[in-house]
Amino acid sequence: MAVAELYIADEIRSRLPEKALAEVAAHLHKRDCQTCGKPLGDKAPALTVDDGGPFLSAMLHHQSCRPSGWYQLGSLVAGAHLSWTSRFFTLPMDDDGALDPRATFIVCPHLEAVHLDQDGGDGWTVNTGRHWRARGFRPMGRELVVDKWVADQTPPRARLTGSTIQIDAGLDGQWSSSADLETIKACRTHNGLLLGVSTAFEPVAATGPNDVLYYGTAGHIFLGWVPLT
């Protein structure tokens, strides 16, 4: 779930417009404090912004661990406490009238942190989509090719062991998820899976095809076909 309540320091409010703050809150998910690693719990987390010059890193902490504020990047080693969630299921696809589901792996690669840059031409905006586009992933729609990897970049590696899929996206993370028989079968049949990356939602137990359609058509999931290795 996107964060509903946040401590936001005045300096952050003076440097980021309301629109950027709303987007950040929608792409952050309350799990663990990025300072101590313990659960954020019921209280409102503190939003911190680390200023890296051309990019900003927005993160969640306990207000008592690292108060909300605008910091210069370098004061914190980021990433040690980042959480991810994923789900692996089938997505129905209509191939000339025949239903032929594809195995689909949806991941939120970092729940408690997100990066912003100004490369979108609209001030500071969350760069998840731009980052994954640069890695060869595309939003749902005519740009997306299913059943083969078409980008020049090397795709992440995917290995199926029993009913568990393991995805290795290098510096972007390693994720795994187990799946039901239908998903495993679809993955074997097509020798690959549709990998979808998003920070706009956190995959939970109930996550399924409807979420892919909802967030996908809104342009919030970046997808690519990853062959099994």
Residue (65 or 93) nearer to Zn ion, CB: 65
Residue (17 or 39) nearer to Zn ion, CB: 39
Q: Output the smallest distance, CB 137 to Zn ion, in A.
A: 32
Residue (62 or 131) nearer to Zn ion, CB: 62
Residue (19 or 43) nearer to Zn ion, CB: 43
Q: Spell out the residues 6+ positions from residue 92 whose beta carbon is closer than 8 angstroms to its own.
A: 99, 101, 209
Single out the residue of 28, 33, 91, 158 in contact with Zn ion (rule: CB under 5 A): 33
Single out the residue of 2, 26, 36, 151 in contact with Zn ion (rule: CB under 5 A): 36
Distances (CA, A) of 23 to 111, 115, 169: 14, 11, 25
Closest residue to Zn ion, judged by C-beta, is: 33
Task: Pick the closest to residue 56 from 1, 118, 110 (CA basis).
Answer: 118
Binding residues with Zn ion: total (CB under 5 A): 5
Q: Output the smallest distance, CB 37 to Zn ion, in A.
A: 7
Task: Pick the closest to residue 58 from 29, 92, 99 (CA basis).
Answer: 29
φ and ψ of 212, to 5 deg: -65, -40
Residue (33 or 140) nearer to Zn ion, CB: 33
Single out the residue of 2, 9, 26, 65 in contact with Zn ion (rule: CB under 5 A): 65
Q: Does 93 bind Zn ion (CB under 5 A)?
A: no
Output Rg (C-alpha) for the chain, integer angstroms. 18
CA 118 to chain centre: 19
Single out the residue of 27, 31, 62, 131 in contact with Zn ion (rule: CB under 5 A): 62
164's enclosing H/E stretch is: strand 164-168
Q: Are the CB atoms for 127 and 55 separated by under 8 Å? A: yes
Contacting positions for Zn ion (CB under 5 A): 33, 35-36, 62, 65
